[in-house]
Amino acid sequence: MLGSFAVLRKQSLLGDAISHAALPGIAIAFLITGAKDTNTLLLGALISGLVGTFWIQGIISKTHLKSDTALGLILSLFFGFGMLLLTYIQKQPNANQAGLDKYLFGQAATLVESDVWLMSIVTGICLLVLLLFWKEFKILLFDADYTKTLGFNTKFIDILITTFIVLAIVLGLQTVGVVLMSAMLLAPAAAARQWTNSLSMMVFLAAIFGAFSGVFGTAISASQNNLSTGPVIVIVAGIFVLISFVFSPGRGLLFKQIRFIKNRRDLKLHKTLAFMYHIAKTHEDISHPHTIKILNNFQGYTKGTLQKLVDKRYVKLESGNWSLTNEGYKTAANLYNQQSENNE
């Protein structure tokens, strides 16, 4: 759901950076409290995720570095620091430490009821904020400068969006883990964009795709032994993306190709017809027959296109000679008029 905004902001990689940036937060939270309470750990993740995000934005606005450089820098820096802390924790004689690494790849199986409650509540809040500030989010995404001139506090809207993206990521960490979280954020949104041209529909579809990936992924991993849930969910989401890229009617590759071929074929027919119309005009009888050789000599039209025109009854074939029918003549004349109108 929130992934739609990340995709439209062209900050897709931000999700990746945030999820990696959350790792040291988890580790530090554990070091301070010494306990493995989920809420505390996630709070740590949230804080370090936010710190990472604002650093990234700071780097972009204060230096000449491009956003991808800033993202990469923060991503690896925080992740490296997080790994360092994790290994340090593992060396400690604290029996509690086992299992922290589940945040790396996620372990949906370890979710308990209170975790699910937390997720539902935060999702509910996200939804509410999204509905309330829908107009503000939309206009900021489309045209930030203009939004400012209308008197909106763009910084506030920006921080609001970013905070909720970070929140969504941090919550997902438990399920799919640091490494795969960004796919969970982006895949549903990227898939949804293929099917629709309206922002509300895109957000709605992304939520549906995300939910389905979660349900299917969990079901598949539960039915097989030794399949961890997180990666399966991500793969299911990936399949959604693949299907969307190929089969969506407006932007999909398949339909684009089909439309392209069909257009070419139509144009070829029209050209052949127009050509015959021109020759026919020079003769008194519009159905003056021509051999294919003459037609071929001019522009190399294939027998195939002529045959198709015969099927449409625009052209008739008599003893090896091709000629225009009355109907074909009329259609060609119309076509010709249309063309010149379009050009005006």
Partner 1 sequence: MKNKIAVQVDDLTVAYNYKPVLWDIDLEIPEGVLMAIVGPNGAGKSTLIKSILGILKPIAGSVAIYGKPYDKQRSLVAYVPQKGSVDWDFPTTALDVVMMGTYGSLGWIKRPGQKEKKAALEALEKVGMLSFKNRQISQLSGGQQQRIFLARALVQNASIYFMDEPFQGVDATTEIAIINILKELRKAGKTVIVVHHDLQTVPEYFDWVTFLNVKKIATGPVKDIFNDDNLTKTYGINYKVVVSD
User: Which parts of this chain interact with partner 1 (CB under 8 A)?
Assistant: 8, 10, 132-136, 138-139, 141-143, 145-152, 193, 196-199, 201-202
To the nearest whole angstrom, how small is the minimum distance from the Cβ of residue 51 to partner 1?
25
| DSSP-based three-state secondary structure for 235 | helix
Contact 166, 53 (CB under 8 A): yes
Looking at the Cβ atoms of 148 and 264, the one nearer to partner 1 is: 148
Q: Please name the residues in contact with 275: beta carbons below 8 A apart, sequence gap of 6 or more.
A: 295, 298, 299, 301
What type of residue is 306?
A: L
CA-based Rg of the chain, rounded to a whole angstrom?
31
Q: Please name the residues in contact with 295: beta carbons below 8 A apart, sequence gap of 6 or more.
A: 275, 276, 301, 306, 322
Looking at the Cβ atoms of 36 and 251, the one nearer to partner 1 is: 251
Looking at the Cβ atoms of 147 and 323, the one nearer to partner 1 is: 147
- Partners of 315 in the β-ladder: 324
To the nearest whole angstrom, how small is the minimum distance from the Cβ of residue 152 to partner 1?
8
Looking at the Cβ atoms of 29 and 191, the one nearer to partner 1 is: 191
Tell me how far the alpha carbon of residue 234 is from its chain's centroid. 14
Hey, what long-range contacts does 248-251 have (CB within 8 A, 24 or more apart)? 248/194, 248/195, 249/195, 250/194, 250/195, 250/197, 251/193, 251/194
Counting Cβ atoms within 10 Å, is residue 239 exposed (0-12), middle (13-18) or buried (19+)? middle
Looking at the Cβ atoms of 78 and 209, the one nearer to partner 1 is: 209
Looking at the Cβ atoms of 34 and 250, the one nearer to partner 1 is: 250
To the nearest whole angstrom, how small is the minimum distance from the Cβ of residue 194 to partner 1?
11
To the nearest whole angstrom, how small is the minimum distance from the Cβ of residue 86 to partner 1?
39
Looking at the Cβ atoms of 12 and 40, the one nearer to partner 1 is: 12
Using the Cα atoms of residue 277, residue 283, residue 288 and residue 289 in order, give the sign of their dihedral: negative
To the nearest whole angstrom, how small is the minimum distance from the Cβ of residue 314 to partner 1?
32
Contact 292, 304 (CB under 8 A): no
To the nearest whole angstrom, how small is the minimum distance from the Cβ of residue 195 to partner 1?
10
Complete edge-to-edge strand list for the sheet that includes strand 290-291: 290-291, 321-324, 315-318
To the nearest whole angstrom, how small is the minimum distance from the Cβ of residue 138 to partner 1?
7
